Structure 1
């Protein structure tokens, strides 16, 4: 099997693989669209031909937004909510405490406010209540006068709580996107494209995408019922797309098709700063440029998440629904402080988890599992992600307290961790749990953690071996250091937004010499690269200080290198320069030994 630039084993132990298998496809695309060969390679590698290029590069909702009625139970849910609005019933939103949950809940509440509805919300405390609806919380909402409860980004596996709610006369609509079982919860409607009997083909949507379709259907139902006949203006649904973009990016669903259109248009809305809370958060984060998917996922998202992780779970939805600039500023500042606290807690838990894993030894274990008493449940998802990145296999981090462990799981391509968690729950190894192919969560009795570990190791052994054997680093093309220009960066930006399903273009800067390198920040390696003509380029390898990649970049004897990474604009003090975010490297003379 051919390797890109003949790199069969890089410093990270990976084979470099050309994402585009047939160069002729890129050449044909470049000629047909009159674009550069490198842009054509990137498009062709993502399966985009000349016919699909216009829709991909300029996605429009008018072309891609489906009829919401394609989703099972959608019309039932919209009719029930429309009836509640017109009857003046109080509608409660029960949301998850992550960004997808906060944006989904905020979407409904902002719509209700615009159409004269009466809405309240409930976000459970991560540590005290855990994930999903619980009977006491639903009873609290009923006591507050809620006649209808809409669960968002949760509820599909809340069988007992929703049975109790139904018995108490509480009407519930479930709006979710997590993997469903054949059995569905008791509810007036269950809207979930991942129901086994749903044929909409929209299973890649985040919960906020499903919620947006619900809002479209609800607005249509209100229009048909004459709600706007007395001169009440219809709300501008497109103005809510900033919330949809934020939730979609942060939930790491594929940024293709409808998700891509929602995100592209939503980022434009976000740039207009119409949402008071998001504008305040951008200011606190010193975001002074048009937001991209990177800013949504790594600048704004973590701050919205911080309340649910280490603070007050409702802070995110409060920020996204307020119209008061002073209130928004205070919440944004608080979330920023909580995010810093989260980072410190995360570092402590990660250090303990790494020590535990190293002491046990990884060897051939298909899954990395770490559990600790007193670990903060709000950071185990991030810790699991770090473990997955470090060891290249599915990882699970469990925070144990009072006889139970709350866990987050992160997986690698080709290994469905969500299905494994569902199987463990069906085997009575879990208190609750669920998720997606790449991420999942669960609660487990402390005395069953060992048995659960054995179950998951056995179930995932074969797919993990296959996935790791196929592990490689996808490369879109190669450039000289002199060719790594701002013009190239701007050209490749046409393929954005980047994320799951639409990987950011990865290029190899060939035959680069390192003229200076040092550790900066929390274990990052910053270096200055030079080309054959003496042209310089700044590079940075995040969290590489203790890795083989970092050792190579810092080595005074390193010869010319092929360096793989992402070219991005780096704006500083009014200047914009190109920066290479480094993923991997290999000696230009051959494989790393």
Structure 2
């Protein structure tokens, strides 16, 4: 996280005292009770039993999808999974392949597009590649809902298609045999926040129930425990930054429990072992340790390599593949650093005021890294951002990142409506989206998107404030509290980890690692000194006085075997 000097800190409304008291009686920790109450947690939501998961059969299209798949599977047909090239798609693909195989499918293959040549989704090019493998059924994961032409080509060739996806549909749905997507209009599934891997896991649960009802597991065939796949479901869910509503927290919590009990797939365990901290694995660990390394395969090379890492059952092979994924990630970081420097130079050359949406492009940029650059721009300048790099066929591929209160996919849809032909294709979520367009449209697109965003927000961009849980009594700021909060999640998008803010006395601020700040602080009311780290904040050092106002998260820092309290700083301002 890039620390901001000027990003405002806004305190959450204090939750009712009665809600805190009800939670505190069960938790025995008033701080955690206050945090949970501020996020709307009720006493019956303190645990994550699997019987609280929403029912798979409430997803529309599930009956048709599982009936078709069961017929092909039990008839010995060939199944082909078509995945996306990000971490959600890769984990969803691995869950699909592993799940279908243990359910008894004889032949299960997969196909993942290239980010650099074929682009996102089940395109015409991907459809031709799928047809060449002669499957009886194509099942998509984390894509397909907007792949009208590719799916039409498969159907024309006599191949049945089941779409499992979680992206927003367009005005027209693909001509698939069945579609499973909680975001379909009128779909009754209570949660709209499943990741692509979550939709696939639900599909497998429903398929197992269908096969059970059909007697598939009676002839000495074992009925598999699909919960063994939940470590991959957890990784894909947190890596795709979908909101962690209660249902998603159940999925993630059980995936983490398996990893912390020594289970999980060898490939994921090998990724996590690359820089183990010795602390329990949390959703944050998955998001920042395993997620980027897995994503790096699709960004820098071929996501098939990442999928194979998740599919191998041999620990030695998993270790070697994890090392290669780590090498891809180091390469990605080097490319990102150069692109970030160029983006920063571009922004510094702009005159005030900044446009409502930041749209940057560079002919030397890497198309696999533009999403990260867009995210960095959004963090630093508190505006939606789109970064473009050259793609195939003379087009430019852009990746957009937004902030709360701006639905970036809807803004792109508005541009496409008012300027037909400007955007070749697009898709995504409220907070992130992708698109392609021709070079001659880049300047006009930036203006059109800025207009669409302001129209959506009533002419005023929302304030990108950090939401704090308020001040914390320094007597409560202990190593034990940091440990308790650390493991009390799973924390993530829509269920933010505890964040506190207050004024501190600044005793020391030194630059470490090139662009980070190591701080030594004490609370304004006194007390013991505590160390803090502010990532990518070295340029803020000269603006700091003797007292600072910080937003921070208590964390456990393990150094040379010793565990210490440390504050992770997310906003740093003069007092």
TM-score bracket for this pair, using the shorter chain length: over 0.9
Aligned pair in 2 of structure 1 residues 358, 197: CA closer, same or farther (>3 Å)?
Answer: same
Deviation larger for 433-442 or 287-296: 287-296
1:524 match: 516
2:340 match: 350
CA contact (8 A) 1:23 1:41 kept: no
SS in 2 for 1:146: coil
Out of 525, 536, 551, the position equivalent to 1:564 is 551
2:83 match: 95
Answer yes or no: is 1:446 the counterpart of 2:435: no
Q: For residues 466 and 58 of structure 1, what CA distance do their matches in structure 2 show? A: 42
Q: For residues 190 and 322 of structure 2, what CA distance do their matches in structure 1 show? A: 37
Cα deviations by residue, 1:356-410 (Å, 9 ceiling, x for unpaired): 2332335141101101113111101111000000100100001124521111100
2:17 match: 24
SS in 1 for 2:369: helix
1:414 match: 405
Q: For residues 166 and 462 of structure 1, what CA distance do their matches in structure 2 show? A: 39
CA contact (8 A) 2:356 2:461 kept: no
1:541 match: 534
Aligned pair in 2 of structure 1 residues 454, 563: CA closer, same or farther (>3 Å)?
Answer: closer
Aligned pair in 2 of structure 1 residues 362, 387: CA closer, same or farther (>3 Å)?
Answer: farther
Aligned pair in 2 of structure 1 residues 293, 465: CA closer, same or farther (>3 Å)?
Answer: farther
Length-normalised TM-score, structure 1: 0.91
Aligned pair in 2 of structure 1 residues 179, 467: CA closer, same or farther (>3 Å)?
Answer: farther
Aligned pair in 2 of structure 1 residues 153, 111: CA closer, same or farther (>3 Å)?
Answer: same
Answer yes or no: is 1:228 the counterpart of 2:217: yes
2:265 match: 275
Pairwise CA distance, 1:15: 4.3
CA contact (8 A) 1:14 1:472 kept: yes
Q: For residues 378 and 362 of structure 1, what CA distance do their matches in structure 2 show? A: 30
Answer yes or no: is 1:79 the counterpart of 2:67: yes
Pairwise CA distance, 1:482: 4.8
Deviation larger for 578-587 or 256-265: 578-587
Out of 404, 424, 449, the position equivalent to 2:415 is 424
Length-normalised TM-score, structure 2: 0.94
Answer yes or no: is 1:46 the counterpart of 2:35: no
Pairwise CA distance, 1:120: 0.4
Q: For residues 190 and 560 of structure 2, what CA distance do their matches in structure 1 show? A: 47
Q: For residues 173 and 362 of structure 1, what CA distance do their matches in structure 2 show? A: 50
1:197 match: 186
Deviation larger for 482-491 or 156-165: 482-491
Cα deviations by residue, 1:436-489 (Å, 9 ceiling, x for unpaired): 100001111111222221210111124557764544332213235453201211
CA contact (8 A) 2:4 2:570 kept: no
Out of 79, 98, 107, the position equivalent to 2:95 is 107
CA contact (8 A) 2:165 2:180 kept: yes
1:4 match: none
Pairwise CA distance, 1:494: 5.5
Pairwise CA distance, 1:12: 3.3
2:467 match: 474
Q: For residues 34 and 189 of structure 1, what CA distance do their matches in structure 2 show? A: 44
Q: For residues 30 and 89 of structure 1, what CA distance do their matches in structure 2 show? A: 52
Aligned pair in 2 of structure 1 residues 369, 191: CA closer, same or farther (>3 Å)?
Answer: same
Pairwise CA distance, 1:514: 2.0
Q: For residues 478 and 421 of structure 2, what CA distance do their matches in structure 1 show? A: 56
Q: For residues 459 and 446 of structure 1, what CA distance do their matches in structure 2 show? A: 20
Alignment of 1:123-202 (within 5 A): 123-202=112-191
Q: For residues 542 and 250 of structure 1, what CA distance do their matches in structure 2 show? A: 20
2:378 match: 388
SS in 2 for 1:563: strand
SS in 1 for 2:467: strand
Root-mean-square deviation over aligned CA pairs = 2.1
Q: For residues 43 and 136 of structure 1, what CA distance do their matches in structure 2 show? A: 48
1:318 match: 308
Q: For residues 574 and 72 of structure 2, what CA distance do their matches in structure 1 show? A: 66
1:360 match: 350
Q: For residues 187 and 465 of structure 1, what CA distance do their matches in structure 2 show? A: 38
Alignment of 1:287-306 (within 5 A): 288-306=278-296
2:324 match: 334
Q: For residues 110 and 24 of structure 2, what CA distance do their matches in structure 1 show? A: 54
CA contact (8 A) 1:417 1:436 kept: yes
Alignment of 1:447-462 (within 5 A): 447-462=440-455
Deviation larger for 376-385 or 129-138: 129-138
The unaligned stretches of length 5 or more in structure 1 are 1-9, 589-593
Pairwise CA distance, 1:201: 2.7
1:591 match: none
Deviation larger for 416-425 or 30-39: 30-39
The unaligned stretches of length 5 or more in structure 2 are none
Q: For residues 478 and 453 of structure 2, what CA distance do their matches in structure 1 show? A: 44
Answer yes or no: is 1:122 the counterpart of 2:114: no
1:515 match: 507
Aligned pair in 2 of structure 1 residues 196, 527: CA closer, same or farther (>3 Å)?
Answer: same
Cα deviations by residue, 1:239-268 (Å, 9 ceiling, x for unpaired): 110011000001111112100100111111
Q: For residues 277 and 70 of structure 2, what CA distance do their matches in structure 1 show? A: 38
1:399 match: 389
1:577 match: 564
Aligned pair in 2 of structure 1 residues 470, 390: CA closer, same or farther (>3 Å)?
Answer: closer
Deviation larger for 403-412 or 136-145: 136-145
CA contact (8 A) 2:414 2:452 kept: no
CA contact (8 A) 1:481 1:537 kept: no
SS in 2 for 1:408: strand
The number of aligned residues is 567
Q: For residues 305 and 17 of structure 2, what CA distance do their matches in structure 1 show? A: 52
Answer yes or no: is 1:496 the counterpart of 2:489: yes
Pairwise CA distance, 1:518: 1.2
CA contact (8 A) 1:94 1:123 kept: yes
